[in-house]
Structure 1
Amino acid sequence: MVNAGTAVKTYRSYLAPSQRTYSCVHCRAHLAIHEELISKSFQGSQGRAYLFNAVVNVSCGPAEERVLLTGLHAVADIFCENCKTALGWKYEHAFENSQKYKEGKYIIELAHMVKDNGWN
């Protein structure tokens, strides 16, 4: 039984505790495992960001065209499924051939994530 006023955290996916994971800095919901990290050399709207192949516990907003540092892209903002914080975006479409590798990938800004489990 849950007492009135007690918040209950529910996540769609839990990542194995033995894996190095990235979590939402605001609520600690799991976001990605280290093996899904593609690059640490990205820039988000609030500073440095990481590019991931796959993430969990996020929801996507509608896609919209934006001119980013690397050109025109169709992107959808992503939000933590638990606390609804805006984390970054998903690349839906890249208009330049040199940027096609980003399609279907996710940007999460460092300001919104923390390393958990198994980091030295």
Structure 2
Amino acid sequence: MAELVGPRLYCCCNCRNHVALHDDVISKAFQGRNGRAFLFSHAMNIDIGPKEDRNLMTGLHTVADVYCNDCREVLGWKYERAYEESQKYKEGKIILEKSKIAKENW
């Protein structure tokens, strides 16, 4: 019988710092700067940069870049504000780019 190794995690692909739990994935159908991205309800061991308005594929949003708090790699961004009503569900959520994270304990 296999031993339970703990929760499935995502870590920074650069330094292996744990940044998110698989259970916190809301959607895997997002687009980041460099390809596919995942929308998470929470992330950990990250730093959040200054807020700025960006025109994204779904309209204007106020976002802040998200960095690994160990190696400072930019991993994605946090949605601070959505200007369109249909996009409000993203507020407070975090995008992590698939190319910037790796699986651990899978």
- TM-score, normalised on structure 1? 0.84
Give the equivalent residue in structure 2 for 1:38. Answer: 26
Q: How many residues of Structure 1 are paired with residues of Structure 2 in the alignment?
A: 102
Give the equivalent residue in structure 2 for 1:20. Answer: 8
SS in 1 for 2:96: strand
Give the equivalent residue in structure 1 for 2:79. Answer: 91
- Deviating above 4 A after TM superposition, structure 1's stretches of 4 or more consecutive aligned residues are none
Give me the whole-angstrom Cα distance separating, in 2, the residues matched to 1:97 and 1:32.
27
2:43 aligned with 1:55, yes or no? yes
Give me the whole-angstrom Cα distance separating, in 2, the residues matched to 1:32 and 1:115.
10
Q: What is the letter of the counterpart of residue 96 of structure 1?
A: E
Q: Which of 48, 51, 68 pairs up with 1:80?
A: 68
Bigger radius of gyration: 1
Give me the whole-angstrom Cα distance separating, in 2, the residues matched to 1:102 and 1:21.
22
- TM-score, normalised on structure 2? 0.95
Give the equivalent residue in structure 2 for 1:108. Answer: 96
Query: Which is richer in strand?
Result: 2
Give me the whole-angstrom Cα distance separating, in 2, the residues matched to 1:61 and 1:33.
21
Which ranges of structure 2 fall in alignment gaps of 5 or more residues? Answer: none
Give the equivalent residue in structure 2 for 1:69. Answer: 57
Which ranges of structure 1 fall in alignment gaps of 5 or more residues? Answer: 1-16
Calculate percent identity across the aligned residue pairs: 54
